[in-house]
Structure 1
Amino acid sequence: MAVNLIKGQKISLKKDDGSNLVNFCVGANWGAISEKGFFRDKVVPVDLDLSLALFDTNKRLCDIVYFGKKSAPGIFHSGDDLTGDVDGDDGLDNEVISIDLNRVETKVEQIFFVLNSYNQVEFNKIPFASIRLYEGTPTRVSKVFATYNVANDHTFAYKVSMILGKLYKRNNEWKFSAIGEPTSDRKLEDLITISVMKFL
């Protein structure tokens, strides 16, 4: 059963058979805003961006994967979604980052997942927005391990970016820690080089 993540929570990456989860996806799903108009409703696009940042054992930034740089060893980004779901929640993720921990560079010790609103729409104005960690592919979900509801959490009200959580190595084994920290950073660069640095 999927875990509804809360701030500071740590989750196991162990599968039911006792093996470690090494191939999985992190996906973000959100909706466009529908505004009532005089003659017809108006759709306001919501451009959220799911990204990750990789750091080495010396807490140095190794790489960033986002819509503008879609891959790194063991990591692939599905591409940029500029609008969100227009006709309600279709149950599919708008942006997905696929990860194979066995192929991630050995120098990488921490991987941070972040979400930011490119067009500065505040999270509380979005009809729905959630992030989930699951086993499968960008088009097929086998098992959801953890979910994080962003739009319905008052913690994120009036914010345009957040740090979801991080993967980190402990005794050569990967673990996941939920951070759930909202920030006011308006650029991905600031989100990673200023806010994320506080959690290294």
Structure 2
Amino acid sequence: MAVNLQKGQRISLTKDNEGLSRIMVGLGWDPVAQGGKGLLGSLFGGGAPNVDCDASVFLIDTNGKVRSKEEIVYFGNLKHKSGSVQHMGDNLTGDGDGDDEQIVIELSKVPQDIARLIFVVNIYDCIKRRQHFGMIKNAFIRVVNLSNRQEMLRYNLTDDYSNRTALIVGEIYRNGNEWKFGALGEGDNSSNLGELVNRYR
């Protein structure tokens, strides 16, 4: 049975799952319904572009840094050179139930000098389109054990992220011989992925 986490909570992935290695991290979100009257209607009135959210993973070294662009897995670099992290492709709209983007992690292949995997979501072309995470609802991150297809945990983001253009959703990190997951849920005003990466330069 999956554990439902709250913001700030942390849980071990491997303590009670000996041999756990291959997991899937799913991220999902829904656009707020378009049309209607009032403020939202004017925001989303005819022809408003879809809110295109992109999920990415930053591989952070033991000094808390992203060393190079090769340590970022996103729609433009779908697989880490170690084979430990693979992005399954970009979803342009967020429509439909379930995961919008999925990332497969092979924990045993994560290089020893990588301490944390940070999962972020940003809105593509957010400044030009005047979009922010107040236009998104039902955002979540979940972790699935791929050996038995069981959902291990889920974190539903419930804060108000209006005027935020990026989210630092969660992290998987080493703690001794364990791998743990932390529910972060931090909003950010970076206008693109490059600005978000600069937090970890």
TM-score (norm. length: structure 1):
0.80
**Contact 2:14–2:180 (CA under 8 A) maintained in structure 1:** no
The ranges of structure 1 where at least 4 consecutive aligned residues each deviate by more than 6 angstroms after the TM superposition are: none
Structure 1 counterpart of 2:153, from 128, 136, 146:
146
What residue in structure 1 maps to residue 20 of structure 2? 21
- Residue 176 of structure 1 aligns to a residue whose secondary structure is strand
- Residue 28 of structure 1 aligns to a residue whose secondary structure is strand
Output one character per residue of 1:84-139: Cα deviation in whole Å (capped at 9) or x when no partner.
Answer: 21xxx423x121110001111222111111111114232222243222122239xx
What residue in structure 1 maps to residue 42 of structure 2? none
What residue in structure 1 maps to residue 162 of structure 2? 157
- If asked which structure has higher relative contact order (CA below 8 Å, sep 6+), I would say 2
What residue in structure 2 maps to residue 98 of structure 1? 104
1:20 deviation in Å? 4.7
**Contact 2:170–2:182 (CA under 8 A) maintained in structure 1:** yes
What residue in structure 2 maps to residue 82 of structure 1? 92
1:2 deviation in Å? 2.2
The percent identity for this pair of structures is 39
- For 1:115 and 1:186, how far apart are their aligned partners in 2? 11
- For 1:103 and 1:19, how far apart are their aligned partners in 2? 16
Output one character per residue of 1:33-55: Cα deviation in whole Å (capped at 9) or x when no partner.
Answer: 442379xx867412111111112
**Contact 2:51–2:123 (CA under 8 A) maintained in structure 1:** yes
**Contact 2:172–2:181 (CA under 8 A) maintained in structure 1:** yes
- For 1:180 and 1:71, how far apart are their aligned partners in 2? 24
What residue in structure 2 maps to residue 64 of structure 1? 72
- For 1:127 and 1:59, how far apart are their aligned partners in 2? 30
- For 1:187 and 1:97, how far apart are their aligned partners in 2? 20
- For 1:25 and 1:8, how far apart are their aligned partners in 2? 21
Specify the code of the residue in structure 1 equivalent to 2:75: F
**How many correspondences in the alignment?**
185
Specify the code of the residue in structure 1 equivalent to 2:7: K
Output one character per residue of 1:131-168: Cα deviation in whole Å (capped at 9) or x when no partner.
Answer: 2122239xxx8222222223x432x2331211112222
**Structure 2: 5+ residue stretches without partners:** 38-45
**Contact 1:8–1:178 (CA under 8 A) maintained in structure 2:** yes
Structure 1 counterpart of 2:132, from 122, 140, 143:
122
- C-alpha change, 1:142 and 1:42, in structure 2 (3 Å) is farther
**Contact 2:56–2:73 (CA under 8 A) maintained in structure 1:** yes
- For 2:7 and 2:36, how far apart are their aligned partners in 1? 38
State the Cα RMSD in Å.
2.7
Could you say which structure has the higher strand fraction?
Answer: 1
Output one character per residue of 1:50-72: Cα deviation in whole Å (capped at 9) or x when no partner.
Answer: 11111222333241101110011
